[in-house]
Amino acid sequence: MSTPISNGQGQYSIGLDKNPANYVPLSPLSFLERSANVYPDRVGVVYEDRAFTWAQTLERCRRVASWLVRHGIGRGDTVAAMLPNIPAMYELHFAVPMAGGVLNALNIRLDAPTIAFMLEHGGAKILFVDPEFSTVIADALKLMKTPKPLVVDVDDAAFYGGSRIGTIEYEAAVTAGDPAFPVTLPPDEWDAIALSYTSGTTGDPKGVVTHHRGAYLNGVSNSLAANLGPHPTYLWTLPMFHCNGWCFPWTVALAAGMNVCLRKVDPAKIFALIERHGVTHMSGAPIVYNTLINAPGARAARTSGHVVGLIAGAAPPMAVLEGAERIGIKLTHVYGLTEVYGPASVCAEQPGWDDLPADERAQLKRRQGVPYPLQESVTVLDPETMKPVPRDGETIGEVMFRGNIVMKGYLKNERATNAAFAGGWFHTGDLGVLDADGYVIIKDRSKDIIISGGENISSVEVEDVLYKHPAVLFAAVVAKPDGKWGEVPCAFIELKDNAAASEAEILSYCRERLPGFKTPKAVVFGPIPKTSTGKIQKFILRDRVHSASAISA
């Protein structure tokens, strides 16, 4: 008598299938609907003299979604937006997926040719535009060879200038929409929710496609990693176009908090809004916090409450971590990329850290850390063997992610997608180590490691020393070609206002704190190019060094 072959599920596979009672697709749309139903009268969004409750926010999103559907948006259609952190940008994070569409939030610092490429590549059918960016958008539309999107103007009473280039204004679309438009979850949680383009330094940008499931999970992960708790007050110092604001539009809805919108980073206004609204949380790149720390009157404007600031985008200098504490902002370091929905790892704090001296605490907190609560794994692997490196803090490998908070892939770019997912892990391109605690520590981008006379030099390590100099506001270190050593470190420095320093002084300062081979061999003073999210554009600096033979020690 033969034994039946098991299907791997046995008794658990018979009649126990998914059904509407036990399975609902994961989508952050659920967060908005719950907060509007449970806390209808709590203020959800504030901007200048305008405020909307969660019930009003849901209604406005329903109206916009219905207007989008009436204008041809359906499942998988792209809707683009060129907007600052204003209420309309927040609402589109819900209205577009409600209509079944995919939100493409455009970087507001891009030039016309790049925007034209993204609109064509992503197939945008509708485009929402703030008047500040009407000129560059008009130029981009002229460059398009494919059908142009329908343009919607989004007026802002707090901005003076610009012009209308659309066929309808945003508030007219809101008014024309149906307030009872049903909130329908996607038929498949794997459906795309957003399209974000990487800012590649060579070739065309890659379109990162994320899905409802990942947005839902990272929305929850944000809340857990940042200890948001119920009803936080979140200040929008981070651009919503950057990885969809690290998924925080959905996170704040989950927590039924208050979104304090901010058109641009202005230290005086930021300190005023923190006090006015009792801000509890904010996010940004090191440049944001460095700007606040060094703002005139920063000490006098020191926040009276306790603000948790998430910091990412580059390894935070110890001077920034320490300086933020002095003005009342406690920083938590998170790490990620567009391909993992923004932050997907966190430097999880351990008991006793708050009792350590500031410099020791900062040294621990600047690590990239461990997986986000709902991310499966982040680690450092040898890219050749795909085996974990030892936890010795020295053996360098590539930082890689695996889990549900990883993109679907790159739009219309199978080759890049396959390369990114080689070996069953997402390859970040960042080089790092694992310390004895299992925390990831990034040493550099693979292209930013300086190899001098066969020795590897981390530009991050040298920059950290430079940031401690009292006259330095921003610092970046890149490889400079050298006839003897192959390449040597070259430091670019942007000084604080009314501060002065010479090349000899900077070099002497570094020699006292670094081994000789790690000390910069040249210093260049002046403004350092940065992206709109505060990342220093090292590829521009590398080009300057390679083409400027006059730069020498």
| pLDDT tens-digit map of 387-410 | 999 999 999 999 999 999 999 999
Q: In this structure, are 121 and 203 located in the same domain?
A: yes
Whether 150 has a pLDDT exceeding 60, the answer reads yes
Per-residue pLDDT tens digits for 281-325:
999 988 889 889 988 877 666 656 689 999 986 667 778 888 888
User: What is the number of structural domains in the chain?
Assistant: 3
> Phi, psi at residue 154, to the nearest 5°?
-120, 95
Predicted confidence at residue 548, as pLDDT, reads 43
Is 34 inside any structural domain?
A: no
Whether 412 has a pLDDT exceeding 60, the answer reads yes
| Contact (CB, 8 A) for 233 and 219 | no
Q: At what angle do helices 134-143 and 112-122 cross, to 10 degrees?
A: 60
Tell me the C-alpha distance between 527 and 493, whole Å: 8
Whether 204 has a pLDDT exceeding 90, the answer reads no
* Burial class of residue 532 in the structure, from the number of CB atoms within 10 Å of its CB (0-12 exposed, 13-18 middle, 19+ buried): middle
DSSP letter string, 393-443: S---EEEEEESSSS-SEETT-HHHHHHHTGGGSEEEEEEEEE-TTS-EEEE
Closest CA to 243 of 203, 210, 286, 274: 210
> Phi, psi at residue 463, to the nearest 5°?
-60, -35
Q: In this structure, are 302 and 201 located in the same domain?
A: no
Is 215 inside any structural domain?
A: no
- The most distant pair of C-alpha atoms in the chain lies apart, rounded to whole Å, by 92
Whether 492 has a pLDDT exceeding 80, the answer reads yes
Which span out of 132-141, 429-438, 487-496, 513-522 was modeled with the highest average pLDDT?
132-141
With tokens 């072959």, the residue in question is 5
Tell me the C-alpha distance between 25 and 23, whole Å: 7
Is 282 inside any structural domain?
A: yes
Is 38 inside any structural domain?
A: no
Q: In this structure, are 455 and 417 located in the same domain?
A: no
Q: In this structure, are 418 and 270 located in the same domain?
A: yes
| Cα dihedral 227, 233, 234, 237 sign | negative
Whether 215 has a pLDDT exceeding 90, the answer reads yes
| Contact (CB, 8 A) for 159 and 132 | yes
- Residue 346 CB contacts under 8 Å (≥ 6 apart), including other chains: 225, 332, 333, 334, 335, 369, 370, 372
Tell me the C-alpha distance between 346 and 336, whole Å: 9
Tell me the C-alpha distance between 55 and 456, whole Å: 56
The mean pLDDT value of the chain amounts to 90
Predicted confidence at residue 2, as pLDDT, reads 52
User: Which residue type does 253 have?
Assistant: A
Predicted confidence at residue 552, as pLDDT, reads 38
- pLDDT, greater one: 195 or 305: 195
Is 233 inside any structural domain?
A: no
Pairing of strands 342-346, 370-371: antiparallel
Q: In this structure, are 69 and 155 located in the same domain?
A: yes
Whether 340 has a pLDDT exceeding 70, the answer reads yes
pLDDT band at 533 (very low <50, low <70, confident <90, very high): low
Predicted confidence at residue 99, as pLDDT, reads 98
CATH number for 275 = 3.40.50.12780
Tell me the C-alpha distance between 460 and 185, whole Å: 44
Per-residue pLDDT tens digits for 8-67:
677 887 888 889 999 999 999 999 999 999 999 999 999 999 999 999 999 999 999 999
Q: In this structure, are 286 and 414 located in the same domain?
A: yes
pLDDT band at 344 (very low <50, low <70, confident <90, very high): very high
Tell me the C-alpha distance between 404 and 371, whole Å: 12
- pLDDT, greater one: 155 or 458: 155
CB count, 10 Å around CB of 269?
13
Report the 3 state secondary structure along 125-151: EEEEECHHHHHHHHHHHHHCCCCCCEE
Q: In this structure, are 415 and 460 located in the same domain?
A: no
Is 457 inside any structural domain?
A: yes
Is 4 inside any structural domain?
A: no
Per-residue pLDDT tens digits for 439-482:
999 876 656 668 675 566 778 778 888 988 999 999 999 888 87
Q: In this structure, are 197 and 292 located in the same domain?
A: no
Whether 249 has a pLDDT exceeding 70, the answer reads yes
Predicted confidence at residue 306, as pLDDT, reads 82
Q: In this structure, are 318 and 175 located in the same domain?
A: no
**pTM score, two decimals?**
0.83
Predicted confidence at residue 301, as pLDDT, reads 60
CATH number for 539 = 3.30.300.30
Predicted confidence at residue 460, as pLDDT, reads 79
- pLDDT, greater one: 486 or 34: 34
Predicted confidence at residue 553, as pLDDT, reads 34
pLDDT band at 3 (very low <50, low <70, confident <90, very high): low
Q: Backbone dihedral region of 423: left (phi > 0), alpha (psi from -120 to 50 degrees) or beta?
A: left
48-61 burial: b if 16+ Cβ within 10 Å, else e: eeeebbbbbbbbbb
Four-point Cα dihedral 24, 28, 31, 34, nearest 10: -40
Q: In this structure, are 422 and 462 located in the same domain?
A: no
Predicted confidence at residue 305, as pLDDT, reads 63
- Residue 107 CB contacts under 8 Å (≥ 6 apart), including other chains: 197, 199, 239, 241, 242, 531, 532
Q: How far is CA 230 from CA 126, 151, 190, 254, 276, in A?
A: 35, 37, 28, 9, 19
From 445, 468, 492, the end of a domain falls on: 445
Average pLDDT score over residue span 261-269 = 93
> Phi, psi at residue 167, to the nearest 5°?
-100, -10
Is 252 inside any structural domain?
A: no
Q: In this structure, are 392 and 275 located in the same domain?
A: yes
For residue 481, the surrounding DSSP H or E stretch is strand 472-482
pLDDT band at 121 (very low <50, low <70, confident <90, very high): very high
Q: Which domain holds residue 321?
A: 265-445
Q: What percent of the chain has a predicted confidence (pLDDT) above 70?
A: 91
Tell me the C-alpha distance between 183 and 174, whole Å: 16
Per-residue pLDDT tens digits for 84-113:
999 999 999 999 999 999 999 999 988 899
Q: In this structure, are 367 and 415 located in the same domain?
A: yes
